[in-house]
Amino acid sequence: MEEPALFAELGIVDGLRILDLGCGDAATGRKLLDAGCRSYLGMDGSASMVQAATATLHGTTGRAVQVDMEDFSASPSSFDLIVSRLALHYVEDVAPVLAACHRCLSPGGRLVFTVVHPMLSSYDSGTQGTRTSWVVDDYFVRGARQREWMGGTATWFHRTIEDYVDALKTAGFALSSLRECEPNEERFAGDVGEYERPRRVPLFLLIAAGRL
């Protein structure tokens, strides 16, 4: 559901050198390459995701590497745009990641990322299946949250919206856009029930910032 807001925010990518942090299967990378970006590098901490990304990028100039975001570094000015989609909330401390982004972006380069909306990442009631109610609690209690997920434990790190904005400013970025990814009725193809549900609470937060 954050895809329309993300691509609207990315705008024309023609000729850009793009880095994707937490690229998953690089489906986004494939779209960016189809849209004419000059180069695409996906990074992901999971070997199986990098394998899936490599398959997705087969036959293109894009590539994917296994690197934890916390450890990534690249040459100064080696990218024009950094994208990160639904991955930064898995990082405990975003400050070093944002500093590394700042170092490797060209002057005027942009960082655009989405995360699970802090309204949702604050508290997890453990409900399985389709949610019909949401609880916002412990909003100003930052840090790890966990839930049982596919036979294991999924851990994410809650931050407030203000925390993301402050971390960007500290890393040397200027906020250019903040979107809460309101659902687009056309994407629900007449399924009013499914459209009404995500209108009740914001699910995703998108932040775009420019390198100062």
Ligand X SMILES: C[S@@+](CC[C@H](N)C(=O)[O-])C[C@H]1O[C@@H](n2cnc3c(N)ncnc32)[C@H](O)[C@@H]1O
- Sorted by sequence, the CB contacts under 8 Å of residue 191 that are 6+ apart come out as none
Single-letter amino acid, residue 99: A
70 binds ligand X (CB under 6 A): yes
5 binds ligand X (CB under 6 A): no
Q: Which residues pair with 77 in a beta bridge?
A: none
CB atoms within 10 A of CB 94: 24
91 or 208: CB nearest ligand X: 91
211: exposed, middle or buried (C-beta count within 10 Å: 0-12, 13-18, 19+)? buried
In degrees rounded to 5, what are phi and psi of residue 196?
A: -70, -35
16 or 21: CB nearest ligand X: 21
64 or 168: CB nearest ligand X: 64
112 binds ligand X (CB under 6 A): no
22 or 210: CB nearest ligand X: 22
Least CB distance to ligand X at residue 212 (A): 25
Binding residues vs ligand X (CB under 6 A): 22-24, 27-28, 44-46, 49, 68-70, 85-87, 90-91
